[in-house]
């Protein structure tokens, strides 16, 4: 670590660092953590806002994503925006918030339905508390603009496309490092 600090001019903050290991005895990890003056990491943990060591097939894994979508697409914002503004916000939220998760894990159907429900209520609700009127089916809303839809991304298809990208990359990369 001293060599790293000298070469790169960076200093490792061991008070913020945690040490973990896969296939290593807990006694060894504890010994090295004591030497480095840092904590021992426990599984599951969160890394780059992504839960590591949790089951991605359970709804609890996706609660952070669903909550962030709900916060961004809250009903009070819907009252202040036109229909075009709501569509634009749905598209931008859908492309940004769950993208990291969707590119790594297959989303359960229940989670996808919950996010679509939030989007539907935001689009058609107009900030009202009563019954909402849907002026078109969600399938039509998700069609391309050239085909008469609104161009909102279908979450399930988007998720499969992002996962399919990994299969394509694994099959097409000769060196396995990302570039051929």
DSSP 61: G
Strand pairing category for 18-19 and 39-40 = parallel
pLDDT at site 111 = 93
Q: What is the pLDDT of residue 81?
A: 83
Residue 108: predicted pLDDT: 94
> Which segments of the chain have a pLDDT < 70?
75-76, 126-131, 174-180
Question: What is the structure's pLDDT at 20?
Answer: 87
Residue 50: strand pairing partners:
47
Rounded Cα distance between 13 and 36, Å, is 10
| 10 in Cβ contact with 4 (< 8 Å) | yes
Give 72-120 pLDDT, tens digit per residue: 887 667 777 888 888 888 888 877 888 888 988 999 999 999 998 888 8
pLDDT of residue 180: 46
Q: In this structure, are residues 77 and 71 in contact, taking their beta carbons and an 8 Å threshold?
A: no
């Amino acid at each position: 670590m001293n060599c790293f600090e000298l070469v790169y001019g960076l200093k490792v903050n061991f008070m913020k660092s945690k040490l973990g290991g896969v296939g290593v005895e807990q006694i060894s990890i504890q010994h090295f953590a004591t030497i480095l003056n840092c904590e021992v990491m426990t599984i599951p943990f969160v890394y780059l806002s992504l839960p590591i060591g949790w089951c991605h097939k359970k709804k609890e894994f996706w609660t952070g994503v669903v909550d962030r979508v709900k916060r961004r697409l809250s009903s009070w914002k819907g009252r202040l925006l036109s229909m075009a503004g709501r569509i634009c916000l749905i598209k931008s939220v859908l492309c940004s918030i769950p993208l990291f998760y969707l590119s790594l894990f297959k989303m359960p159907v229940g989670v996808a339905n919950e996010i679509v429900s939030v989007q539907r209520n935001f689009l058609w609700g107009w900030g009202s508390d009563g019954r909402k009127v849907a002026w078109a089916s969600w399938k039509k809303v998700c069609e391309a603009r050239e085909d008469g839809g609104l161009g909102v991304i279908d979450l399930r298809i988007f998720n499969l496309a992002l996962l399919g990208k990994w299969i394509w990359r694994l099959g097409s990369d000769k060196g396995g490092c990302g570039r051929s």
